[in-house]
Amino acid sequence: MDTATFSGIPYTVLLMKCIAKLERDGNNGRITIDQMKKVLDQICLPLGNDVIYEPNYVEAKRYAYLACSQNDCCKELEDLLRNLEISDYGNDWHDTYNYEILTLLLTLKNIAKENGELSFQPLTGTLPDMESTTENYIRLKKLYEVKAKLDKSRVEESLARSKKIVSQDVLETFCSHYGEVRKILPPKSDLLGIFSTSNALLDALVMVQFWEQPAVTAEDKDEFIGLRVDDNYSVMAFFGGAVVQEAIKLITHHYVPIDNLFLYNGINNSSATYKI
């Protein structure tokens, strides 16, 4: 191979050749950046000293750490998968979206377990720009797209076997951005303890006061007891916006309460006047 032909090889292919050589040499453990750069020189430098000036060689050196990400990348996700516990009852989670994400994470864990692998990470199918000939880049892009579709089909098959339902939009987004998934925990107050949401705290307080478990009735207290999930975003957003708007009016003195204020309660369809 001459230098001109070498310059058209994408850097990702060079990194894969380095990984393959390390495996042939018996290195089945953790791959380090120094090992990658050393093997890269062993593969490329015999073509001539001018190789070090080729853009794809420079990219391979710069992004050699990506080849090590198979050991360190998504460590947070791996920890999450190892400790993942999920219930069939969707209301155990704060909303349907997070429930579906956790269902997909559990599905990846099951796929890896079925195949005797440490982890299974679906390929995004998106190939970044890189130094390469147009022909080589298109061929590599097609391979990425085929592998991404195959990984997605494996996820869909696993979901079908476990009789789990996930919306197609969430599945598409999850497979396309798996590497960007992060676990974000809300701040916890020492006083609230396990009550990380206002609904959970309200649920517990009502249960303590009335000594009753949730029941499907029309009574107000039972409605509050059963309020476990923050799914009512639109309602909370509307009332939150209304409260903030009125609070700003009071603070800036744009609104001054007056005597004999007439109020209409749309919840119980009643009205009254109040004297300040």
Report the pLDDT averaged over residues 251-275: 74
Q: What is the mean pLDDT of the chain?
A: 75
User: Which of 108-112, 179-183, 213-217 comes out lowest in average pLDDT?
Assistant: 213-217
Task: Record the tokens describing residue 22, joined without a space.
Answer: 């390390």
Picking from 72, 101, 117, the residue at the C-terminal end of a domain is 72
pLDDT value for 150: 92
Are 82 and 154 members of one domain?
yes
Summarised one tens digit per residue, pLDDT across range 147-173 is 989 999 999 998 888 888 888 888 988
Q: Per-residue pLDDT for 88 more than 70?
A: no
Task: Record the tokens describing residue 268, joined without a space.
Answer: 């119980």
Q: Is 106 left (phi over 0), alpha (psi -120 to 50) or beta?
A: alpha
Are 87 and 153 members of one domain?
yes
Q: What are phi and psi of 95, to 5 degrees?
A: -160, 170
Give 241's pLDDT tier (boundaries 50, 70, 90).
confident
Residue with tokens 């909303």: 95
Task: Name the more confident of 275 and 72.
Answer: 275
Could you tell me the residue range of the domain that residue 58 belongs to?
3-72
Are 81 and 175 members of one domain?
yes
Are 29 and 92 members of one domain?
no
Residue 144 located in a structural domain: yes
CB atoms under 10 Å from CB of 149, counted, come to 14
Are 81 and 159 members of one domain?
yes
Contact 106, 100 (CB under 8 A): no
Q: What is the dihedral of CA 135, 174, 117, 60, to 10 degrees?
A: 40
Q: What is the dihedral of CA 17, 18, 23, 24, to 10 degrees?
A: 70
Are 88 and 173 members of one domain?
yes
Residue 198 located in a structural domain: yes
Report the pLDDT averaged over residues 78-107: 67
Distance CA 123, CA 142 (A): 13
Q: Per-residue pLDDT for 213 more than 80?
A: no
Are 116 and 159 members of one domain?
yes
Residue 185 located in a structural domain: no
Q: Per-residue pLDDT for 128 more than 60?
A: yes
Q: Secondary structure of 89-141 in the HEC alphabet?
A: CHHHCCCHHHHHHHHHHHHHHHHHHHCCCCCCCCCCCCCCCCCCCHHHHHHHH
Are 159 and 254 members of one domain?
no
Are 173 and 110 members of one domain?
yes
Question: What pTM value is reported for the model?
Answer: 0.55
Distance CA 258, CA 85 (A): 55
Task: Record the tokens describing residue 177, joined without a space.
Answer: 């951005």
Report the domain count for the chain.
4
Are 173 and 265 members of one domain?
no
Are 80 and 143 members of one domain?
yes
Are 227 and 254 members of one domain?
no
